[in-house]
Structure 1
Amino acid sequence: MLELEGLTAGYHGGTVLHGVDLTVPPGTVHAVVGHNGAGKSTLVHSVAGLLRPTAGSVRLDGTEVAGRAAHRIARAGVGLVPQGRRVFAGLTVEEHLRLSYRAPSGGAGSVPSWTPARVLELLPRLAERRGHRGADLSGGEQQMLALARALLSTPRVLLLDEPTEGLAPVLVRQIHELIGALAGDGIAVLLVSPSPSLAASCADEISVLTSGRITTRLSGSSAREDPAPLHEALSLSRTGT
């Protein structure tokens, strides 16, 4: 379980996140929705250890990890799929997978272990492109590769930073399905996105982030039944009202 309590963070003395509280139980998807500049990437970076929080708590299964180095948080069971994919242009798919794979140490609990073979079974397009370099992949293939790299650390918590950005609708649907499948494996998924439709399609819980504060919370099931309240909350968040 991922638990954030009073999480506060920012850059160069300025505050971006103001006391964020949220919980992501195992096997669920929590989507944080907000406009550009709301603090979504800052939230993900603070959890992953790329940015040191100035206050508050980040707990993984009850263990405090806030302020730890990013590599230590990754080893504790947090995987990150960053915005913009960030694959290595000169490495092949197979080389990415080989370098990313870390054999489980026995601390993954009930989360199944991920191997390169299992990743390629989940993402068959990558299997077809295993000899191609990162620079030769389409945007959707690069996103799949970024996801594959994160899975090969066998995370208990998976952080997805705008995973469908710039993708064609057919690939967006595939990402929706993959997120659901990963939660079904027992992974706690924290997804940040500006898209209310993505959140409503796959999330169990949805939070609207407005200027670094959670201003609205609702269930994914209610948003799927009636998306109007989510769209209204997101519209109001544009002006911070």
Structure 2
Amino acid sequence: MFKVESLSSRIGKIQILHSLDFHVDKGEIVSIIGANGAGKSTLLNTLAGIYTPVEGKVTLQDDLISGLPAHKIVGKGLCLVPEGRQIFPGHTVKENLTLGIYSKYYKDRKHVEENLERMLELFPGLKKHYHRIGGNLSGGEQQMLAIGRALMSDPKIILLDEPSMGLAPKIVNEILEILVRIKEEMGTMVILVEQNVKAALKVADRAYVMDQGKFIMNGTNEEISSNPEVKSAYLGIKVG
């Protein structure tokens, strides 16, 4: 289990997150939805160690990870796929994937090769571009490369920040299907931050709605998608 308790975070002197509590169970996709400026990306960056929480704690399988530097959090089994993908554009697909594997595996070439083969099976579209420069890939291919790079480190939980941004609906559906496979085949926990609420709720087991750094509601995907406030504010459905 991944558990967050009373988590608060600031950027400079401005407090962005306010005493957040939530959890993710093994093999579960949890979506966090909300408008721009709600604090979603700040939450992911705080969980990943880019920002240091001012209070609260984060545990991953009973291992306290809050307050650790980002590279040690990766070593504990948490990996972030940031907004905008942020691949290494001057490196090949193979090099990008290999750079994602945590350093403790570098001497285990068999494990590296096994993970590379697994990523090409999971993302077959990358196979034909294996030796191409990452910056020459399409937006969807770069997003799949970013997810594959994160999975190379064998994370227990993966955090995705707006993976559908700028992508065609067909590609978004492919990525969502891959997230479900990651959950079901690998048992990996997934936190999905999305402004595309319909896409997020399509694959989520549960969802939290964030507003001004706080969770204002949570529930199963069915409960959230049928909530009148969510329908009106996020799904564009007039209620009443």
Q: Say whether the fold is shared (TM-score over 0.5).
A: yes
1:186 matched to which residue of 2? Answer: 187
- What do residues 164-217 of structure 1 show as CA deviations (whole Å, max 9, x unaligned)? 111000001011101111111211111111121022100011100000000011
| Counterpart-to-counterpart distance in 2, 1:233 and 1:207 | 14
| Counterpart-to-counterpart distance in 1, 2:115 and 2:101 | 7
1:204 matched to which residue of 2? Answer: 205
| Counterpart-to-counterpart distance in 2, 1:32 and 1:114 | 32
| Counterpart-to-counterpart distance in 2, 1:67 and 1:156 | 18
1:93 matched to which residue of 2? Answer: 93
| Counterpart-to-counterpart distance in 1, 2:114 and 2:198 | 29
| Counterpart-to-counterpart distance in 2, 1:171 and 1:234 | 21
| Counterpart-to-counterpart distance in 2, 1:4 and 1:167 | 31
Question: How much has 1:72 moved relative to structure 2?
Answer: 0.4
* Matching residue's letter, 1:19: S
Q: Which moved more, 1:146-155 or 1:129-138?
A: 129-138
| Counterpart-to-counterpart distance in 2, 1:114 and 1:151 | 12
The change in CA–CA distance for 1:120 and 1:176 in structure 2 (over 3 A counts) is same
| Counterpart-to-counterpart distance in 1, 2:131 and 2:67 | 38
2:165 matched to which residue of 1? Answer: 165
Q: Is the 8 A contact 1:104 1:153 kept in 2?
A: no
- What do residues 115-152 of structure 1 show as CA deviations (whole Å, max 9, x unaligned)? 01000011011111111111101100110010011000
Gaps in structure 2 of 5+ consecutive residues: 106-112, 236-240
Question: How much has 1:233 moved relative to structure 2?
Answer: 5.7
- What do residues 6-43 of structure 1 show as CA deviations (whole Å, max 9, x unaligned)? 11001111100001111000100110001110000000
Aligned: 1:21 with 2:21: yes
| Counterpart-to-counterpart distance in 1, 2:118 and 2:104 | 14
2:80 matched to which residue of 1? Answer: 80
User: What is the SS of the residue equivalent to 1:115?
Assistant: helix
User: What is the SS of the residue equivalent to 1:172?
Assistant: helix
1:57 matched to which residue of 2? Answer: 57
1:117 matched to which residue of 2? Answer: 117
2:108 matched to which residue of 1? Answer: none
* Matching residue's letter, 1:187: T
| Counterpart-to-counterpart distance in 1, 2:46 and 2:101 | 24
- What do residues 211-231 of structure 1 show as CA deviations (whole Å, max 9, x unaligned)? 00000112013346x365532
1:43 matched to which residue of 2? Answer: 43
Question: How much has 1:95 moved relative to structure 2?
Answer: 1.1
The alignment's C-alpha RMSD in Å is 2.0
Q: Is the 8 A contact 1:114 1:151 kept in 2?
A: no
2:196 matched to which residue of 1? Answer: 195
Q: Is the 8 A contact 1:10 1:17 kept in 2?
A: yes
Q: Percent identity?
A: 37
The count of aligned residue pairs is 228
| Counterpart-to-counterpart distance in 1, 2:177 and 2:233 | 25
User: What is the SS of the residue equivalent to 2:183?
Assistant: helix
Aligned: 1:176 with 2:176: yes
* Matching residue's letter, 1:30: V
Q: Is the 8 A contact 1:216 1:233 kept in 2?
A: no
1:221 matched to which residue of 2? Answer: 222
* Matching residue's letter, 1:210: D
Give 4+ residue runs of structure 1 displaced > 3 Å after superposition.
102-105, 221-224, 226-229, 232-235
Gaps in structure 1 of 5+ consecutive residues: 106-112, 236-241
2:136 matched to which residue of 1? Answer: 136
